[in-house]
Amino acid sequence: MLIQSHARKYAAAALVAIAAVVPLPSRAGVNGSVTANGFTFINFDPTSTSDVGSNANGISNKGHLVVTGITANGNFTNFTGTPARTVALNLGAQAMALGINSAGTVVGTQNGAAFFMPPKGTPQPLLGPAGATSLFGINDLGNVVGQFTSANGASLGFLVRNKTKSAYITIYPPSGQGIVNAQGINNFGLIVGFYVGSDGQDHGFIARVANAHNGSLTGQAVADPVIPNVAGEPGATFVFSQILGVNDAGIAVGYYGDSTTSQHGFIYDTNTGIYTFLDDPAEAFNNGVEVTQITGISDSGELSGFYSDANAAFHSFTACPTYAFCPDYPNDLP
């Protein structure tokens, strides 16, 4: 099960016990890291004894992650921190922490309802919109984006600028079936996400808060990637794509799915329209399927995401560009 392939495809005390960190084997590098394709990857699982894998769902500009652990019975555990040190979030078995900002405010979904959680606080519901099911992204200004079910049953995106007020902006799709997932927002009001097109598949979109009018905003379709040839997937063709995060430079991240049902990560420059493809080097085939999803990007260019191994289990990663400085990376590795 992919818990980030969603749409993004629970009330308790906040920060509690330090979680054990399980660094995964790497092919090269030092301190558990491996360098590939211009990035230094750290693969890890912050686990409880019942977890069988994890998904890193987002990253802040300080390099702090939100990670959801996957238990054998299909429940979830949630963490925040770095690969070297994660702290458990007491959110319940049906909650997913999906985004985090530099202040440490966490957003996500809990028992089917959107929540935000201030640092060292407890989960709080939004005042608006009614029917908000998930918060996927939060910027350093505290603006949040997510998905809600409207009064007529449509699944649309939304933006809330002030979490203490009920006012919100509805985000509509460029076209298609009216299903919108607003996934990320940067500090300049650039929103990214995906929508269901007239072909019934997911496609990326961008939207700018400055273009909102009378409480509504319509996304701009992003051209689908022309996918590369991938070893082990001869003849694979494009099926869908999801954009999941964006930084202040307008560099977005996500993944695409192909006709083999494999999934591969990408970096998308919203300024130039250029895609760069990137998979975790530890990704492996299981029954002909391999998965890498890139879920977040910081202003330093550090990535969050997860990949599948040969047993079809998912594991978290961070990836730092070799030209960049990423906070606490890799000096605080176990």
Mean pLDDT of 232-258: 98
Residue 211 has φ and ψ, to the nearest 5°, of -90, 0
Q: What is the pLDDT of residue 329?
A: 56
Q: What is the pLDDT of residue 32?
A: 61
Is residue 329 included in any domain, yes or no? Answer: no
**Interval 86-134: pLDDT, tens:** 899 989 899 999 999 999 999 999 999 999 999 989 999 999 999 999 9
CATH of the domain at 277: 2.120.10.30
Peptide bond into 25 cis (omega under 30): no
Is residue 3 included in any domain, yes or no? Answer: no
Q: What is the pLDDT of residue 292?
A: 98
Q: What is the pLDDT of residue 51?
A: 86
> How many angstroms separate the CA atoms of 298 and 305, rounded?
12
| pTM of structure | 0.91
Is residue 331 included in any domain, yes or no? Answer: no
Evaluate if residue 7 carries a pLDDT over 70: no
* 146: containing domain: 15-321
**Interval 256-291: pLDDT, tens:** 999 999 999 999 999 999 999 999 999 999 999 999
Is residue 330 included in any domain, yes or no? Answer: no
Q: Which residues of 252-268 are buried (b: 16+ CB within 10 A; e: fewer)?
A: bbbbbbbebebbbbbbb
> How many angstroms separate the CA atoms of 290 and 284, rounded?
6
3-state secondary structure of 210: helix
Mean pLDDT of 5-18: 33
3-state secondary structure of 276: strand
**Interval 30-77: pLDDT, tens:** 346 888 899 999 999 987 777 899 999 999 999 999 999 998 888 999
Q: What is the pLDDT of residue 331?
A: 44
**Interval 141-175: pLDDT, tens:** 999 999 999 999 999 999 999 988 999 999 999 99
If residue 133 lies in a helix (H) or strand (E), which one and from where to where?
Answer: strand 132-138
Evaluate if residue 13 carries a pLDDT over 50: no
Is residue 61 included in any domain, yes or no? Answer: yes
The Cβ of residue 273 has, within 10 Å, a number of other Cβ atoms equal to 9
**Interval 205-223: pLDDT, tens:** 999 999 999 999 999 999 9
> How many angstroms separate the CA atoms of 101 and 138, rounded?
6
Number of domains in the chain: 1
Is residue 85 included in any domain, yes or no? Answer: yes
> How many angstroms separate the CA atoms of 170 and 147, rounded?
9
Is residue 5 included in any domain, yes or no? Answer: no
